[in-house]
Amino acid sequence: MSVSEFESLENTLEKHIPHDELKEVKRILFGKEPKKLALPACAVEAALERDFELQGYLFEASPEQLRPPRIVRIGLIQNRIVLPTDAPVLDQINALHNRIGEMVEAAAMCGVNIVCFQEAWTMPFAFCTREKEPWTEFAESAEGGYTTQFCKKLAQKYNMVVISPILEREETNNVLWNTAVVVSNSGNVLGKTRKNHIPRVGDFNESTYYMEGNTGHRVFQTQFGKIAVNICYGRHHPLNWFMYSMNGAEIIFNPSATVGGLSEPMWSIEARNAAIANHCFTCGINRVGTEHFNNEFTSGDGKKAHQDLGHFYGSSYVAAPDGSRSPGLSRTRDGLLVTEMDLNLTRQISDKWSFKMTGRYAEYAEELTRTTREDFKPNIIKE
Amino acid sequence: MSVSEFESLENTLEKHIPHDELKEVKRILFGKEPKKLALPACAVEAALERDFELQGYLFEASPEQLRPPRIVRIGLIQNRIVLPTDAPVLDQINALHNRIGEMVEAAAMCGVNIVCFQEAWTMPFAFCTREKEPWTEFAESAEGGYTTQFCKKLAQKYNMVVISPILEREETNNVLWNTAVVVSNSGNVLGKTRKNHIPRVGDFNESTYYMEGNTGHRVFQTQFGKIAVNICYGRHHPLNWFMYSMNGAEIIFNPSATVGGLSEPMWSIEARNAAIANHCFTCGINRVGTEHFNNEFTSGDGKKAHQDLGHFYGSSYVAAPDGSRSPGLSRTRDGLLVTEMDLNLTRQISDKWSFKMTGRYAEYAEELTRTTREDFKPNIIKE
């Protein structure tokens, strides 16, 4: 399937549309164009050698009199799995550790301060199968598991905050969660945050494996800015983004795993809308490739059993509070997207557009409370 | 300015991108392509003669066993003002009544059941000037004003629901509002709904003229479906769309007035995100043209005084709950966009994606209530 996959929307536009019109097309579609970031030759070379795409962009803010710029570089990593899904579990994990390790090394060359991996990055997205074994063996302790140990080493070595979304096993009671571990650049685990909304759509049978998160909308104060993690299906819920923002998030990461047939036209809309509506930066990350499973499974759509979930279309991108966005990474290749932003832009855009001030939240809190009561009567006017 | 204005994103894509790639570009950007609607020759001819664009699209749903299709045709009208802004007030109003009258006649030929006009459609969008006179003279009673009388006649004549967004004067106390009057196809006023969020951005000095609406998130049960009206700046507030949806809206109209320099990259994102997140249809309507005023005004941006607000970029469109959308009307011309949809699609997409079911609203109601208290402490994790 991946042979025939369309590589990149942005490349096609650039290739065919004449310069003057292209400028308008890009302005309307993507907003103010972020500058390209000059990346060091060693990183460019590493990306070439290690066969992944490397792109860099810059979101600027206006100079202020009382605050210095608050510059941060973030890295988003998208990748395919390395070994077949029937390789031994530990081999699969180690192969992914190695792959991510070499990509993070390139991120470090680019001066990245915060890196985020894709959802459930240590494993194939096997929840489509509804099989418990061997997939639950990929679950690890958030605080002290094998992968968290690995991330702590990366964090310390590169002075980098590492966001590591994994399948979590709470070892005291064997409850599983879909969790992002946030490792500080000191090498300590800063905390964890769990996926708040679990899909009930298509082959995303995740509700078979884990429940809605119980960690609310916590925000992590890092040395480089206040960040939050809205995992995958949570991007469809505007209230989820909103509540991270109300707790002060300046950058909200959205590590995901989603396929072309299901969600692609929504992909460029949802995280971007959240950046606009909440005056913050948002980062969509999606894996790439098609993952094949040994046992066939059906999709509840009347079609024949098959052995894959579809094509994960990558297209990871960063959206800015001013309505602009970076180009997406490719739909087909592993990639590292490096973005530098001045976080002062979030308050500047808030002061310009004032959505938080004009939000009338007290009224909405009352209305929303009413809608959740069993005796709620919708406000409908009839003739 | 309008001479050099770029006419249409969609036309440029169609013109330059080869067929095979165009298919992928359109799928990624716009979702499943809606079919073109065959429109009657008399309407096509009327549009040609009267110099406005006419487009028609069709959003289909799957057949169901227990419910017949619920087909509705809606019309969105975008237009420039007809007379200069210094013409006598009543002449300006009458000229717009005439123009809209001839466009609604074409909508009737196309079998439109519900038509919606742009925000403050009987007047130039003069709030940039901060002058009270003569602009407040355009304000009318929602229930019995001159324009509502006009709309009642249209409604009755064409058996059409008419959504008429006007500057409202509450005659008992001279309070002004930004209001949409909903006239039933019976010719009776079904009710009115006021703009919930008033901008504080750029030259949109509307808070000088009217306050935040007090009509909540009412939904109008018409013969053709349940509709709501989210006026202009309310589209930036996801909670606003959401609450109309929680009250049962199947189609949410967003009559607007907004200019290229300010909001264009957001335009295709916000209403579309609302359609996706709330499993409903949304309709963005924006006026066209550049409106010149006799007295110059400044914009609070350090630049020289000038006499216009900028180019209203039209681009009215319909977004569907499945993530797809219609092409936009032109950025420069008057236009009528006719869309037929099967409202059964809203429940079908809800059953597929289940955002309302996975929304955890009780938790959000509590969290939101907490954020509105003066002693609210954001949930921030520090090392």
Range of the domain at B47: 34-295+306-371
pLDDT for the residue A1? 39
CA distance A165 to chain B (A): 17
To the nearest whole Å, the CA of B45 is away from the closest chain A CA by 30
CB contact under 8 A, B217 and A383: no
Cβ proximity of B223 and B190 under 8 Å? no
DSSP string, A212-280: --SSTT-EEEETTEEEEE--GGGGG-HHHHHHHHHTT-SEEEEEE--BHHHHHHHHHHHHHHHHHHHTS
State whether residue B11 sits within 8 Å of chain A by CB.
no
The reply to whether B236 touches chain A by the CB within 8 Å rule is yes
Mean pLDDT of all residues in A17-37: 96
As a whole number, mean pLDDT of residues B162-177 equals: 98
Measured between CA atoms, the residue of chain A closest to residue B361 is: A372
Count how many Cα atoms sit within 13 Å of the Cα of residue B383 in the half-sphere of its side chain: 16
Residue B1 has pLDDT above 70, yes or no: no
Q: Do B218 and A381 touch (CB under 8 A)?
A: yes
Residue A380: how many CB atoms within 10 A of its CB? 14
Structure tokens belonging to residue A119: 């959802």
B232: in domain? yes
Distance CA A135, CA A180 (A): 18
Name residues 24-53 of chain A within 8 A of B (Cβ): 24-25, 27-32
Residues B87-96 have a mean pLDDT of: 98
Tell me, yes or no, whether A383 lies in a domain: no
Q: Which of A1, A15, A16, A198 to mutate: most B Cβ within 10 Å?
A: A16
Does the structure show a pLDDT above 60 at A2? no
The helix-helix angle for A146-158 and A89-109 (nearest 10°) equals 10
Give residue A367's pLDDT: 98
The whole-number pLDDT of residue B351 equals 98
Would the CB atoms of B383 and A226 count as touching at under 8 Å?
no
Judge whether B190 lies within some domain.
Answer: yes
Q: How many Å lie between the alpha carbon of B90 and the closest alpha carbon of chain A? A: 31
User: In this complex, do B352 and A219 lie within 8 Å of one another by their Cβ atoms?
Assistant: no
Contact B141, B192 (CB under 8 A): no
Min Cα–Cα distance to chain B from A362, Å: 6
Query: Is the CB of A4 inside 8 Å of chain B's CB atoms?
Result: no
- The answer to whether B51 touches B72, Cβ cutoff 8 Å, is no
Q: Could you tell me which of B122, B113, B176 has the C-alpha nearest to residue B148?
A: B122
- How many domains are contained in chain B? 1
In this structure, what CATH number is given to the domain that contains residue A226?
3.60.110.10
Average confidence (pLDDT) over A323-338: 97
Across chain A, where does the E strand assignment appear? 35-36, 53-59, 71-78, 114-116, 161-170, 175-183, 189-194, 219-222, 225-229, 251-256, 281-286, 288-297, 306-313, 317-319, 335-342, 380-381
The verdict on residue A215 lying in a domain is yes
- A218 → closest Cβ in B243, B324, B381: B381
Question: Taking CB atoms and an 8 Å limit, are A196 and B360 in contact across chains?
Answer: yes
Q: Using a CB-CB distance cutoff of 8 angstroms, which residues of chain A are in contact with residue B217?
A: 367, 379
- The catalytic position among A232, A270, A291, A340 is A232
Chain B residues inside the 8 Å CB shell of A237: 277, 355, 358-359
Q: What is the pLDDT of residues A173-200, one digit of tens each?
A: 999 999 999 999 999 999 999 999 999 9
In a domain, residue B323? The reply is yes
- Start-to-end CA distance of chain A, whole Å, equals 54
Sign of the torsion angle spanned by Cα atoms A124, A128, A129, A134:
positive
Most A CBs within 10 Å: which of B12, B235, B262, B377, as the mutation test of the A interface? B12
B211: contact with A, CB 8 A cutoff: no
Which chain A residue has the Cα nearest residue B220?
Answer: A381
pLDDT the model gives residue A5: 87
**Does A264 touch chain B if contact means CB atoms closer than 8 Å?**
yes
Q: What percent of chain A has pLDDT over 90?
A: 98
Q: B153, B53, B71, B149: which is closest to B112 by C-alpha?
A: B71
B6 lies in some domain: no
Cβ-defined contact of A27 to B360 (cutoff 8 Å): no
Q: Is residue A172 part of a domain?
A: yes
Within a domain: A378: no
Q: What is the pLDDT of residues B199-231, one digit of tens each?
A: 999 999 999 999 999 999 999 999 999 999 999
Residue of A178, A227, A364 to mutate, interface with B, max B Cβ within 10 Å = A364
d(CA B198, CA B226): 25
